[in-house]
Copies of this chain bind each other. A is one copy, B any other.
Amino acid sequence: MTDTKPTIAVIGGTGDLGTGLARRWAKAGYAVILGSRAAEKAATAAADLASYATGPAPRGMANADAAMAGDVIVLTVPFASQVGTLDDIKAAVAGKLVVDTTVPLVPPRVARVQLPPEGCAAVAAQQRLGEGARVVSAFHNVAAHKLQVVDMALECDVLVFGDKAEDREVAIKLAEACGVRGLHAGPLVNSAAAEALTSVIIGINRTYKVDGASIRITGFGPAKQA
């Protein structure tokens, strides 16, 4: 199966979420390319990632190069960096699937829902990239530090948003490779739900002194699409 796995470029791959996802995918045998604004920083992180890899050796590159080299592009940057990063990689992601993980947190009030004028960060990403790229969104509600502990069982579901089922399916497979259930959660505009929920969860973590709350969709068993 290894040869059917897409090469994953994790843009902003030296951050907390990028590191967690990259470790899980490397462990699952995927070829992972870490992107960062500085190629050297990405190379150092890729060397650290190597001990987790069961497949191809991870590589590190500047974001645009990583986006060029990847088959599937996963964007894991802070909201404030989303637009600039998208502009950096726009040419490189033409015709590719972009999995956006951006949550529109606006410091200092990150526990307050503050959705952008476009409705959600995922729609903003699609508008910024234009029709050349296909954007789905996912991984908004996974605790990054728990992802980083690659053997830790994660008690959560990943809601996957996108306008085409086959594109969502790719992200669902990537969620499963991380050890979590991925679910078809509707069109890209529905991403507002998971993005807003991130602020709610940050607040719950504070209010109840929880270390990494998340969500699970209840009421049915193992995921099986109709």
Contacts and interface: CB of A to CB of B under 8 A. Distances in A.
Contacts of A185: 200, 203-204
B187 A112 contact: yes
Contacts of A196: 190, 192-193, 196
Given A113-B192, A193-B113, A196-B196, A203 B186 contact: yes
How many copies of the chain does the oligomer comprise? 2
A226 B199 contact: no
A4 interface: no
Nearest to A222: B208
Interface residues of A, number: 46
Contacts of A156: 218-219
Nearest to A187: B112
Contact of A213 (B192, B197, B207, B220): B220
Given A155-B218, A223-B208, A225-B207, A197 B189 contact: no
B217 A113 contact: no
Interface in A166-222: 183-187, 189-190, 192-194, 196-197, 199-201, 203-204, 206-220
B219 A203 contact: no
Nearest to A191: B113
A113 B159 contact: no
Contact of A193 (B184, B200, B219, B226): B200
Contact of A215 (B207, B216, B220): B216
A27 to B, nearest CB: 22
Contacts of A189: 112-114
A212 B217 CA distance: 10
B225 A192 contact: no
B111 A186 contact: yes
B204 A210 contact: no
A119 interface: yes
B210 A184 contact: no
Interface core residue of A114, A207, A225 (most chain B CB under 10 Å): A207
Q: Top 8 nearest A-B pairs by Cβ distance? A: A193-B196, A213-B219, A186-B203, A210-B220, A155-B218, A193-B197, A113-B190, A209-B226
